[in-house]
A = this chain, B = another copy of it.
Amino acid sequence: MTERITAAIDTGVTTPLGFLAGAVAAGLRTRSGQDDLALLFSELRCVAAALFTSSAIAAAPVVLSRRNIADGKARAVVVNAGCANAYTGAEGYRDSEEMVRLAASQLRFAYSNAGSASKLRLADSDVLVASTGVTGHRLPIDKIRAAMPKIVLDRDGGGRFAHAIMTTDTVPKQAAAVFTSGGREYRVGGCAKGSGMIHPNLATMLAFLTSDAPVERAFLEETLRSAADASFHMITVDGDTSPNDTLLILANGAAGGATLREGVEGAAQFREAVVKVCVELAKAIARDAEGATKLIEIKVVGAKSLDDARTAARTVAGSSLVKSAVYGNDPNWGRVLAAVARSGAAVEEEATNLFWQGVCVFRRGRPLAYDEKALSAATKNDEVRIRVDLGLGRARAVAWGCDLTEEYVRINSEYTT
């Protein structure tokens, strides 16, 4: 069985063996003094897999990372907050290349300093890159050049790394899981930043996962995809998508043992651990969305197909009206039904049941009487659960969202000016 790691000190990207991380304040943010340049490094070369933005215009760091991960290998990730380096054309791409070169140089230098006998062989193409922040502005590459040498890599650096990549996040988001296979213990760790523009298909979200398991490339890719489908693709904050979205996983095999691939012992546990970390990070993102005060969990059961269940759950989670109602402790379940009915999923009024915070408010096409005051009081909770039983099949899915608040509007109307 997979277990969640609860140790508070280091529950993130440096939880698995052989990973080091660090960060520094490079002055890329408007409010300076906070870390905004972060580096993740593995002592062993990793098998790597990633999912990037579905936007037709990807930011420069995404274009470069896609290229650098094409061989399925990577060893380091350099990330900055404060500037997304998106919509910056050819110059922007060259800036991302320079950022990768600076990170690789720093790693070669730092690793030698760390007393390793053998000289570090690290190609620039083994470094992946991600950026987040305001779009349409050039990367302050001089500040990055000046700050990079100040990054100190640490085996407990995951927390600092998670802090450094935050934008309007109010808390860092980290998770880890551990599993045993063939007498060995393996770890999966991760961190993420979210906050605005979070939507199915990786809206402005960066998430980095690590593992010390040895994993075959195809199996790693498939595991990441299916984990994303059940986690990051099931959260929505405001329906927008950024050009920078990146989810990646590095597996370095530092814990030893035979390579995990589809069907072998340990493979299912590995997948379960990755899903667990992804779901935990995804929920943390939804909960900490800009201005949000509540996490909303939408469970759709009885759907005709998995696609239907997911579409219906996501549509409800993304409805501005449902989000506003939850914020106002208003059990306005008609808005849930309206969202389900327009989602494209197969829906039949007479077959549908709807539960709001555990109370059945609509059964087989009919509204039920309920205590409005009591249900409103039950909605005054930092988690609101809505369950829709479509009564048409056996497929089910869960989506997570957040309430829509005046604060969301305030944050997003004051971002650049």
**Residues of A in contact with B (beta carbons under 8 Å apart):** 54-57, 84, 86-91, 134-138, 196-197, 201, 238-243, 318-321, 324-325, 327-335, 337-342, 345-350, 352, 361-362, 365-367, 372, 376, 404-406, 408-417
Contacts and interface: CB of A to CB of B under 8 A. Distances in A.
Nearest to A237: B320
B240 A349 contact: no
A97 to B, nearest CB: 17
B86 A334 contact: yes
Contacts of A135: 332, 334-335, 337-338
A330 B414 contact: yes
A415 B330 contact: yes
Contacts of A341: 55-57, 241, 243
Given A55-B338, A325-B415, 16 more contacts: A56-B342, A89-B365, A90-B365, A135-B337, A136-B334, A138-B367, A197-B338, A238-B320, A241-B342, A242-B338, A243-B341, A327-B409, A330-B417, A331-B416, A372-B416, A409-B409
A234 to B, nearest CB: 18
Interface SS of chain A: loop
Given A240-B338, A342-B55, A376 B327 contact: no
B239 A320 contact: yes
Nearest to A349: B57
A324 B239 contact: no
Contact of A333 (B136, B240, B337): B136
A350 B345 CA distance: 37
A241 B239 CA distance: 15
B347 A57 contact: yes
A362 B55 contact: no
Given A239-B318, A239-B319, A338-B241, A409 B405 contact: yes
Contacts of A417: 328-332, 372, 376
A87 B324 CA distance: 20
Nearest to A318: B239
Contacts of A55: 338, 341-342
A350 to B, nearest CB: 8
A367 B56 contact: no
26 contacts: A56-B347, A57-B341, A87-B334, A87-B367, A88-B366, A89-B365, A134-B332, A134-B334, A135-B332, A136-B333, A136-B334, A136-B362, A197-B321, A243-B338, A243-B341, A321-B412, A325-B413, A328-B417, A330-B413, A330-B415, A330-B417, A331-B417, A372-B416, A372-B417, A405-B409, A409-B409
A325 B412 contact: yes
A165 B112 CA distance: 76
